[in-house]
Structure 1
């Protein structure tokens, strides 16, 4: 039995990277720390909120790498002068990744009361209608 992939479907032309995108997305959500929310702020705006209690702005980084939003956190090592009887507040490093669709851009980010908010917006392109002339003897690539 042959496995039919997204890129091999006859009606999905030019979507060869779709399967890799789905696999990458599945891998990025494997760990549950830190918890996060995703909300639709409006029709073309979204907000990702991560619970990052104890992290300062300088402990966090936000990058977009190959249509992937990557949020990383790393706290400075404790000086060692504290003696914990119980340590239940996580102080570990993390990385959260979110795959962005074409046309989705990061609008900004802010840290407020232990919550990191990352605002996203979808840039809606103008609709373009293209008329293709039909000629005689069209050759490969549409050239005569």
Structure 2
């Protein structure tokens, strides 16, 4: 977002928490998934990178990324990442569960998340489901 005072506002299917400061704003998006608890977790974040010392074209790209997106763009990115994380968590949990009902529930949850992700953006799902993505990101 370009202005710290611009309200992020409510978003569909996502809880939004906003804290305004003098020169910046913190916005936290969250969702809940009904799955069994597990001893591990996943997270994603964005970092700010010092672009000084890089080529001008790289500096422009880094500055663009750090400017942020609209609330709808942020929510869309968050939703995609949440679905990818849900699928990855299901796969982790399935390795430790033997109850057939719980396994069936988790398989259905993964199928629903995959379908929603493919509906949002097939290219994102293909990338996230690829062995290359898992190798490069350690997932």
Give the TM bin, normalised by the shorter chain: under 0.3
Structure with the higher helix share, 1 or 2: 2
For the pair shown, the structure with the greater C-alpha radius of gyration is 1
Task: Provide the TM-score with structure 1 as the length reference.
Answer: 0.27
Structure with the higher strand share, 1 or 2: 1
Task: Provide the TM-score with structure 2 as the length reference.
Answer: 0.28
